Amino acid sequence: MMRVYKQIFLGITLVSILFLLTPVTSAHAEELCSSIGPETVIKWDSSDLKVAQIGRLTILKNTPLYKLTGETKETSRVLKKGETYRIYAFKPGKLSVGGGLFVDRDDRINYETPSKVKLGQQTCKKQAIESSQASIQLDELKGSVEAKLGKEKRTSLNEYNLNWYTYYQQYHHFYMVSYLDNKVAGMFTMDDRYYVKNIHVGSTSTDVKNALGNPIKGIVKGNTNYLLNNSNGVQTFDQAGFYITIFYDLHNQGKVTGIQILSKSMENRKAARFGIPSSTLKQAFEMQMFDLINAARVTNGLLALGWDERERTAARKHSLDMAVNHFFDHVNLKGEDPFVRMKAEGIYYRTAGENIAMGYSSSIFAHEAFMNSLGHRENILNSDYTFVGVGEQFQANTNVPYFTQDFFTP
């Protein structure tokens, strides 16, 4: 569950702006690449177009295939009429079929090159392969991850009683990675350079279905089957040894916006739907949410927000109030709205807003739900805000997390 609240003072008009980063390539090229991954097969008529291939030839008349040493030709065999071959390189008057073997470019052969569209798809696949080779893999050593991503910016507890190591460069290329025995056991990313099973940020739900099949309905822990809330916004898939959760952006054509991968050994460390409450986990959820907010803002072309400890206090108090007194609203049982509560902490503002959520198992799931709810998204992506504080509390007995995000500009 989620709710949103906003207020503006001193004649300031709330402006909700969604800035989409303009890619280096054209919008057409971006769309072309969105469905092409490192394992995509690019068809050129009835044959596969290979990544390094520059053309193809059809033999019109029997012609020798030869090895070239300097200017000396050493015939390897004769290519027969009707045969076709991929071409990977050329020299003046000669075409290479690979392996240092050539044919003469004359009237005995017909040479064709791929269309611009096919060349564009080929370029997309090359880029996808390069990205996938740099992607983080389950069981990869921590040192290898740091060689790719640098030193972590934050370490915080997660609901699996492991740490998330958070990596980014000014909130670009955002990753949260967990390790077991110094090897990757789980991760979450918003980085569009990351590929898994041919899926990446920007893929469509059709791409996901083609690659991963149907989502699972639940995860069994002990004697309990914990049902999953698979929807247009989030789906979880069982992939033989690990779980992939795909998050979709319902406000960007339903494209993939985040990917979480957990080994089953990591998932099994959590005995129930929710983690075990602690003050350490509470603080961790808060700071993880702060990083997720800023990663989303930077991805959408906005400045990162500063942290405000007074707002954290106000947000924590409200989350605790809701958890203890079993209500879910921006106005508490004393009739105090977010702005009364902010002022009680000494916060004075020109514009302010609040998001609340409960029942999500982690900061990641809560954040993605916020981003798919238009009012909450507008708060997170409000270009007028400059500070935020996040407060989380667990409900006694149920362990249900309550999240409050308070935004403001002084």
Predicted pLDDT of residue 298: 97
Helices and strands (DSSP H and E) totals, the chain: 10, 24
Query: How much is the average pLDDT of 248-257?
Result: 96
Q: Do 383 and 15 contact (CB within 8 A), yes or no?
A: yes
Cα–Cα dist 274/221, whole Å: 12
Predicted pLDDT of residue 6: 57
Tokens of 214: 């149907």
Q: Do 399 and 373 contact (CB within 8 A), yes or no?
A: no
Strands (E), 301-348: 306-307
Nearest Cα to 350, choosing from 377, 381, 378, 382? 382
Cα–Cα dist 351/384, whole Å: 8
Cα–Cα dist 307/378, whole Å: 19
Q: Cβ contacts of residue 317 below 8 Å, gap of 6+?
A: 341, 391
Cα–Cα dist 184/223, whole Å: 28
Q: Is the pLDDT of residue 286 over 50?
A: yes
Question: For 160-178, how does the pLDDT look when each residue is reduced to its tens digit (9 = 90+)?
Answer: 999 999 999 999 999 999 9
Percentage of the chain surpassing pLDDT 70? 91
Question: For 17-34, how does the pLDDT look when each residue is reduced to its tens digit (9 = 90+)?
Answer: 222 222 333 444 455 676
Mean pLDDT over the full length of the chain: 89
Q: Can you say whether the dihedral through the CA atoms of 189, 235, 245, 3 is positive or negative?
A: positive
β-pair type (306-307, 387-394): parallel
Q: Is the pLDDT of residue 4 over 70?
A: no
Question: For 314-343, how does the pLDDT look when each residue is reduced to its tens digit (9 = 90+)?
Answer: 999 999 999 999 999 999 999 999 999 999
Among 85-94, 233-242, 260-269, 366-375, which stretch is predicted with the lowest mean pLDDT? 85-94
Question: For 266-275, how does the pLDDT look when each residue is reduced to its tens digit (9 = 90+)?
Answer: 999 999 999 9
